[in-house]
Amino acid sequence: MANHVETAAPATWSADAPRASGLRRALVAAARFARQKPLGAAGAVIILALLLMAAFAEWIAPYAYDHQVQGARLKPPGAGHLLGTDNVSRDIFSRIVYGARVTVTVSFATVFLGNLLATAVGITSGYFRGRYDIAVQRVVDAWQSFPFLVIILSLLAVLGSGMLNVILSLSILVAATASRVIRSATLAVVENQYVEAARALGAGHGRIMLRHILPNVTATIVVIATIGLGGIILAESALSFLGYGVPPPHPSWGAMLSGSGRTYMYVAPWMAIWPGVAISLVVFAFNMLGDALRDVFDPRLRGSRGGGVR
């Protein structure tokens, strides 16, 4: 692999802005973002809706996710049931709303854990260099040689299925790829003068990594985390299809699509269409937002291949 393309330090574009009130600054930035990157802004709106659905499911959903509405089996979208009902007479709209909870939980937990590990690995690797760096990079290389489904299924075969194990297994993979990018970003920051200056002043390694490096790679982390979220959601739905996803009773979009959605595809296509649309829309949103953020924070990152820069 070409180890020679490295990112420059991400431009910390907010560093020189005038000291207006925090909220106002944020709103101005958001407005500018929306104008410059309409697709990214659209993505942000969709994600906001997702988070709201997940947080306030009880208020948004008209029915409980396991409530069986009498006499309303396999009803197409229409009066009383915005997205129709399924074969167990449950309201699909409610299940989509509650399903957002699973989507958000699994994806955010995975990305959080994965990037936490990746940050620790990436920053230390890029900072200390030397044999430690080489060894770590070989381990990361090793993990990246596994096609994700192959290693995830194998891990789940050994650990057993269930939400926690799915999150743990996916985190490891996320960590491998993300650590690469974070390492590159760290390498760029370390070259900067003020890190050397800090060391000359006697600052300890930990302090330097936390106070000087971490803030400067945060933008990178946010970008790859956002893009990664989309991939995790697709991965969870693929696992559901294969029977290793999040088990019931909580509805998961992947399980709805690959389970009874597929069984009743001919008779009640809406059972599959809505979770499918939900998944695609949210993945699309994360991708768009991630792309936009990447363009904004560091145009140089545009050259990377889907999040993996060596």
User: Which residues would be at the binding site for other proteins (CB under 8 A)?
Assistant: 1-2, 4-5, 66, 68, 73, 87-89, 138-139, 141-151, 153-162, 230, 234, 237-238, 241-243, 247-249, 254, 257-260, 262-267, 272, 276, 279-281, 283-284, 287-288, 302-303, 305-306, 308
Instruction: Return d(Cα 80, Cα 59) in angstroms, integer.
Output: 17
Q: For other proteins, which is the closer residue by CB, 68 or 192?
A: 68
Q: For other proteins, which is the closer residue by CB, 117 or 214?
A: 117
Q: For other proteins, which is the closer residue by CB, 126 or 230?
A: 230
Give min distance, CB of 2 to other proteins, in A: 6
Nearest to residue 303, comparing CAs of 38, 6, 1, 44? 6
Give min distance, CB of 247 to other proteins, in A: 5
Give min distance, CB of 115 to other proteins, in A: 19
Q: Which residues, 6 or more positions from 241, have their beta carbon under 8 angstroms from its beta carbon?
A: 254, 257, 258
Buried b (16+ CB within 10 A) or exposed e, 280-310: eebbebbbbbbbbbbebbbebbeebeebebb
Q: Before 249, cis peptide (omega within 30)? A: yes
Contact yes or no for 125/187 (Cβ under 8 A): no
Give min distance, CB of 211 to other proteins, in A: 33
Q: For other proteins, which is the closer residue by CB, 25 or 73?
A: 73
Nearest to residue 231, comparing CAs of 68, 56, 99, 107? 107
Q: For other proteins, which is the closer residue by CB, 188 or 235?
A: 235
Give min distance, CB of 158 to other proteins, in A: 5
